Chain A
Amino acid sequence: MLDLVDVGLAVVGRQILHDINLHVLPGEIHAILGMNGTGKSTLASVIMGLSGFSPTSGKVVFQGEDITALSISGRAKRGITLAWQEPARFEGLTVGEYLELGRHGSPGGGPPPGECLLMVGLPPDRYLQRTVDATLSGGERKRVELASVLSMEPRLSILDEPDSGIDALSLNRILDAVRILARNGASVLLITHQNEIAASADRASSLCGGTILKTGDPLAIGRFFRNHCRECPHGSVPHGEVPLHE
């Protein structure tokens, strides 16, 4: 589905990602585990094609097509979307309208806004008319973001910490929504810090110091993350050197 080949990114002379080789298979939930500042959101931005994040080396391939130079809209039209770690706020745009926009972006015309809200555990009668501005709480905004991804029925969903800011009781709801996104051969790139969340994935990769150290079974990667990366002296200060853990 998605292949990153030797991807590197330098921002103002600083190497944030390097030698990334990542392969997300059709229909899989692929978790990315890594500590603060290791480059997870940067990786998400590179895949979505956000401005300022075109790789300085390597290429991004989606369903066999090199999309490295493609615009954000072009990628979205091919079925890639991103749920931001800190989603944007919009004045004068209701939750219902926001979800409709995503739905129109879907080739098949995804599920209606009310249904998407239910999938993330928000009662439609209380949320459809709310504005996607600063009056939504952090957790509510995160869930609306996930609902908006659901409304697009994407081929590849990049979810940047969909679990952060979500109360413990609702986490299962969020995981259910992630599973819905991976139906019919679609894939999910699930960025998280939590092993428990990563455990629901089919495979996982651990990101450290701006590169992928290991890919494999999520439980094994989770163990690796817990036993090694948590003590990694380079975790939050990537300098382009890959620390040797093994």
Chain B
Amino acid sequence: MSDYTKEFLAMSKAYEASGGDPASLSDGRIAGLMVSHRRILRSNDAPGVRIEGEETPTGVKAKITVDPGVHVERPVHLCFGVLPKEGTQEIVSEFLVGEGAKASFLAHCVFPNAVKVRHVMDARIHVGKHASLEYSETHYHGEEGGVEVLPTARITIGEGGSYRSLFKLVQGAAGELRIDYEADIGKDALCELDARVYGKRNDAIRIKESLFLNGEKSRGLAKSRIVASDHCTSEVVGEAVGNAPGARGHVDCVEIVRGKDARVSAVPRLLVTDDRAKLTHEAAIGSVDKKQVETLMARGLTEEESVDVVVRGILR
């Protein structure tokens, strides 16, 4: 078996463990990009979707374009991983979704053996007028906790466009995670940022989601769901800035602490510069909701089982 095949199979295996369907990685009808450490293992276009990837000394540079008006039928599959115990991977990417186009992306980031892995994701995302993009990113880390994950995204959404993202890191140790998302939301446009993380042991989670509601009647939601156990620390900053008439923004943060040594904090930051904008926030941090737990206990579950059901639900 060639090196390439071995690596492809190993990546496919990790991809499958993270919940991906490995068949989609070799399906010619599905656009996709697979990067193992600094090597591009697969890059495949589909009608209306172009993927230009380039290997760099530290990782990969990628430009992904969805042509105007194209409705991409099958989700575009992205897979980034580092299989060895150590290594740095920097992905510099640009996503261009043309006017009126519609696409969804499924990204899997896999670091199954990480002891000292650093993964940097630097994304520029442009969603055109009346275009829509759904971006879901699922992480699969080993149990060692030696991962440093730094996803940064600068998002611009044109008039009437929509962008929805879901970041999920609930399998394996989160390690050190620093999310920094910032969206510039245009007229009548919509942005939803959603992050769900399960932190254990010494994981350190920092999340910053910022919504700049710059267009008239723009709407935004910055949502986060964190469960922190053991000695995990978590800090969530949800920010919304209402700069235009009719803009609506909401920051929604739930952080659940399990055990006496975890520390969580939530900082909502709301700023209105136009008196016709409206921003709201809600945060619930601390123990699991008592009524939820008691409801499940009244159905015969133990307290521990009830907490598990609640926690699994919010991270789903």
Residues in chain A near residue B312, CB distance under 8 A: 92
Within 8 Å CB of B9, what residues of A?
none
Partner pick for A90 among B292, B297, B298, B300, CB 8 A cutoff? B292
CB-contacts of B283-316 with A (<8 A): 289-292, 294-303, 309-310, 312-316
Give the CA-CA distance A81 to B296 in the complex, in Å.
10
Instruction: Give the interface SS of chain A, mostly helix, strand, loop or mixed.
Output: mixed
Cβ of A224: which chain B residues have Cβ within 8 Å of it? none
**Are A105 and B314 within 8 A (Cβ)?**
no
B303 contact set on A, CB distance < 8 A: 71, 73
Give A73-113 as 1s and 0s: 1 = Cβ < 8 Å from B's Cβ atoms: 10111001110100111111100000001101110000000
**Interface size class of chain B, counting residues whose CB lies under 8 Å from the partner chain:** 20 to 34
**Binary CB contact string for chain A from 56 to 72 against chain B (1 if under 8 A, 0 otherwise):** 00000000000000011
Residues of A near B314 (CB, < 8 A) are: 91-92
Size of A's binding interface in residues, CB under 8 A: 27
Q: Which residues of A contact B299 (CB under 8 A)?
A: 76, 81, 101-102, 105, 148, 152
Select from chain B the residue with minimum beta-carbon distance to A133: B313
A76 touches B298 (CB 8 A): yes
A50 CB to nearest B CB, Å? 5
Task: Provide the bound-state CA to CA distance between A93 and B309, in Å.
Answer: 8
**Known contacts A50-B294, A88-B295, A90-B292; is-contact A102 B313 (Cβ 8 Å):** no
Is residue A48 contacting chain B, with contact meaning CB distance below 8 A? yes
Residues on A with C-beta less than 8 A from B289 are 88
Q: How far is the CB of A130 from chain B (nearest CB, A)?
A: 14
Contact assessment for B292 and A88 in the assembled complex, using a CB-CB cutoff below 8 Å: yes
A91 near B298 (CB under 8 angstroms)? no
Are A73 and B295 in touch, CB under 8 angstroms? no
Q: How far is the CB of A157 from chain B (nearest CB, A)?
A: 11
Set of chain B residues within 8 Å of A84, measured between Cβ atoms: 291, 295
Contacting residues, chain B, for A152 (C-beta < 8 A): 299-300
Contacts of A71 in B (CB 8 A): 297, 303
Interface of B: prevailing SS: helix
Specify which chain A residues have a CB less than 8 angstroms from the CB of B225 in the assembled complex: 91
Question: Per a CB cutoff under 8 Å, which of B290, B302, B309, B310 touches A73?
Answer: B302
Least Cβ–Cβ distance between A135 and chain B, in angstroms = 14
**Across the interface, do A101 and B294 meet the contact criterion of CB distance under 8 Å?**
no
In the complex, the answer to whether A101 meets B296 with C-beta atoms within 8 Å is yes
Cβ-defined partner of A72 (8 Å) among B292, B298, B313, B315: B298
Distance between B298 CB and nearest chain A CB, rounded to angstroms: 5
CB nearest to A78 among chain B residues:
B300
| B295 A92 Cβ-Cβ under 8 A | no
Decide: A73 near B297, CB < 8 A? Known: A51-B290, A88-B291.
yes
Partner of A105 from the list B294, B300, B316 (CB cut-off 8 Å) is B300
CB distance from B294 to the nearest CB of A (A): 5
A136 CA / B303 CA spacing, docked (Å): 25
Tell me, in angstroms, the Cα distance from A50 to B309 when the chains sit together. Answer: 19
Find chain A residues with CB under 8 A from B291 CB: 84, 88
A104 to B294, CA, bound (A): 16
Q: How distant is B223 from chain A, measured CB to nearest CB, in Å?
A: 10
Residues 73-116 of B, flagged 1 when their CB comes within 8 A of A and 0 if not, give 00000000000000000000000000000000000000000000
Which residues from A are CB-within-8-Å of B316?
91-92
Q: Are B298 and A101 within 8 A (Cβ)?
A: no
Q: CB distance A101 to B297 under 8 Å?
A: no
Bound form: Cα–Cα A102–B295 in Å:
10
Give Cα distance in the complex from A106 to B316, angstroms: 26
Specify which chain A residues have a CB less than 8 angstroms from the CB of B313 in the assembled complex.
90-93
Give B297's nearest chain A residue, CB to CB: A72
- Interchain CB contact (< 8 A) of A87 among B295, B297, B301, B309: B295
Contact of A92 among B290, B302, B315 (CB under 8 A): B315
- Encoded as 1 (CB less than 8 Å from any A CB) or 0, chain B from 169 to 205 comes to 0000000000000000000000000000000000000
Output the residue of B299, B303, B310, B316 with the most chain A CB within 10 A: B299
Say how far B65's CB is from chain A's closest CB, in angstroms.
34
Residue B298 contacts which of A82, A89, A92, A93 (CB distance < 8 angstroms)? A82
Given A51-B294, A90-B310, also A104-B300 (CB < 8 A): yes
Q: Do A81 and B298 touch across chains, with their CB atoms under 8 A apart? A: yes
How close is A72's CB to chain B, nearest CB, in angstroms? Answer: 4
**Across the interface, which residues of A come within 8 angstroms of B292, CB to CB?**
88-90
Per the bound structure, the CA–CA distance linking A72 and B299 in Å amounts to 9
A52's closest neighbor in chain B, by CB? B290
**Chain B, 204-217, contact with A by CB distance < 8 Å: what is the 0/1 string?**
00000000000000
Closest Cβ of chain B to A118, distance in Å, is 20
**Would you give the shortest CB distance from B194 to chain A, in whole angstroms?**
11
Assess the B301–A101 pair: CB atoms within 8 A: yes
Which residues of B sit under 8 angstroms from A92, Cβ to Cβ? 312-316
| 7 closest residue pairs by CB, A with B | A105-B300, A92-B313, A92-B316, A72-B297, A76-B300, A102-B299, A88-B291
- 14 A–B pairs (Cβ distance < 8 Å), ordered by A: A51-B294, A73-B297, A73-B302, A73-B303, A80-B298, A84-B295, A87-B295, A88-B292, A89-B292, A90-B292, A90-B309, A91-B225, A92-B313, A92-B315
Q: Chain B: residues with CB nearer than 8 A to chain A?
A: 225, 289-292, 294-303, 309-310, 312-316
